[in-house]
Amino acid sequence: MDISVGGNPSSETVSDYDRAGELQAFDAAKTGVKGLVDAGIENIPRIFLRPPSPNELVHESNNHQNDLQVPLIDLGGKHEEIVDQVRSASETWGFFQVVNHGIPLNVFEGMVEGVVKFHEQDVEVKKEWYTRDVKRKVTFNSNFDLYRSKAANWRDTLSFSMSASENFDPQLLPAALRDAATEYAENVRKLGDTLFELLSEALGLKPDHLKALECAGKCTFVCHYYPACPQPKLTMGASSHSDPSFLTVLLQDHVGGLQVLHENQWADAPPIPGALVVNIGDYLQILSNDKFKSVDHRVLANNVAPRVSVACFFTGSSSVHEKSYGPLEELISEENPPVYKNFTVSENKSSLTPDHFAILSLQ
């Protein structure tokens, strides 16, 4: 694989740099970022170089503020207090971590081990799963938006989707994590029901309101593997983004690197043993008519050890006839008119841009 490296990109002229060819060469190898690391590269390929971003540089200057802590919520506490804490975190941070959620620690450990086992297995076996066919229920590749993004992220990903209306066949999953992923998915989907009940109450609605709208109807599990990077300051594990989902539940290993944008500052969301990270997605911000916030977050690259995370994106209706979503009528009034127009998930995904809130905005 002939890929130019990022040691001194300024030495190349624009005409000398064949970005499209470099992307195609990387993709055709089907070995992902881990393949580059295994090959012993010392300088990262130019396709991974993080482009300068004036806004992000502003945020960088305010980073690592000790008084910024993503809220931690104990789901084993008093119900009224939990609802209040969920409301506060969803309105101010868009993020919180949960403990005492009922999922055994060994289920977490099995899932992380399974993801590591898949990504670190024999490359020829792993290549068999490599695809960019979005119609496949199980996919493995590096950077789903490889050909659209300004810079590739330093990570490889195995993804699988399931819906409430279908029986997911575990045999579709790679053997390396089949049992662990099946057990983990079952537990997280149950937790999702609990979280949507709490979020419904936090909006002043009946507990089953969001579930009745099928907000948890479909979920996609995204198993990221971030190899240790020889030049972590030059790239990102995951660029700044918000999630096109109703809700995201994230399992992260002990390595860390997740950061949340809060009050124009990047705050660390450090791993807490036994905890899961929960964040409001774009669609729930729209349903709540901006009461709940879907905020930008990112993952830093590191040169210490591989990082593993598993995100579960709850993306809405799994029905044949797709639902239309928009600001909830119960939250609308003359004093609080709708901020967004209605959308369907497929429509929103097909036109998804960094400005998709602006696209759907009525103001």
How big is the CA angle at 134 (ends 257 and 327), to the nearest 5 degrees?
Answer: 70
pLDDT of 133 > 80? The answer is yes
How big is the CA angle at 290 (ends 286 and 293), to the nearest 5 degrees?
Answer: 90
> Burial, 144: exposed, middle or buried (Cβ in 10 Å; 0-12, 13-18, 19+)?
middle
pLDDT of 11 > 60? The answer is no
Per-residue confidence (pLDDT) for residue 357, from 0 to 100: 57
Report all structural domains of the chain as residue ranges with CATH numbers, in order of start: 53-360 (2.60.120.330)
165-179: per-residue pLDDT in tens?
778 899 999 999 999
Residues 6+ apart with CB under 8 A from 99: 72, 73, 74, 75, 76, 272, 274, 275
Per-residue confidence (pLDDT) for residue 10, from 0 to 100: 42
- Residue 152 CA to residue 4 CA, distance in Å, equals 14
Per-residue confidence (pLDDT) for residue 345, from 0 to 100: 82
Q: pTM, whole model, 2 decimals? A: 0.91
Mean per-residue pLDDT over the chain, rounded: 90
Per-residue confidence (pLDDT) for residue 317, from 0 to 100: 74
Instruction: Output 28 or 324, whichever has higher pLDDT.
Output: 28
| Core vs surface per residue 13-22: b (16+ CB within 10 A) or e | eeeeeeeeeb
Per-residue confidence (pLDDT) for residue 166, from 0 to 100: 79
Instruction: Output 57 or 148, whichever has higher pLDDT.
Output: 148
Per-residue confidence (pLDDT) for residue 62, from 0 to 100: 47
Torsion of the alpha carbons at 199, 200, 205 and 209, rounded to the nearest 10: 170
275-328: per-residue pLDDT in tens?
999 999 999 999 999 999 999 999 999 999 999 999 999 998 766 567 889 999
Q: Which of 45-59, 69-83, 89-103, 237-251 shows the lowest mean pLDDT across its residues?
A: 45-59
pLDDT of 360 > 80? The answer is no
pLDDT of 81 > 80? The answer is yes
pLDDT of 14 > 60? The answer is no
235-288: per-residue pLDDT in tens?
999 999 999 999 999 999 999 999 999 999 999 999 999 999 999 999 999 999
Per-residue confidence (pLDDT) for residue 163, from 0 to 100: 87
Summarize the confidence of residues 108-114 as an average pLDDT.
98
Per-residue confidence (pLDDT) for residue 61, from 0 to 100: 41
